[in-house]
Amino acid sequence: MTDAVFQVGQRVRIADRTPRVHHRVPSYAKGRVGVIERVCGLHGEPEKFIRGNGEPKQRIYRVRIPQSELWQDYEGTERDKLEIEIFEHWLEETE
């Protein structure tokens, strides 16, 4: 098993791109910054299932994003969070 590139607590940016194949990143999360909540296992890469079997597998991370970062007019508290599963190749290190 390859080592995880990102660690719990690290700040990451979710890539803002739109490949022309099926991918599992909703548009509201693209380009957003969050913190790694947990490091998960290796799974087939969704973009590669259109031809083949998703290999090589990619690691999934759970990313925690403050709701107020996602929605300008968010009605709730500053502590409300959204957590989402993102594959490693969609994550970039950020300050």
Instruction: Give the number of other Cβ atoms within 10 Å of residue 91's Cβ.
Output: 20
Would you say 1 or 95 has its CB closer to other proteins?
A: 1
Nearer to other proteins, 3 or 27 (CB): 27
Rounded to the nearest 5°, which phi and psi values hold at 28?
-65, -20
H helix or E strand, kind and range, residue 67? helix 67-70
Q: Minimum distance between the CB of residue 6 and other proteins, rounded to whole angstroms?
A: 15
The residues that touch other proteins, with contacts defined as CB under 8 A, are 24-26, 28-29, 40-41, 43, 46, 60, 62, 67, 70-71, 74-77, 79-87
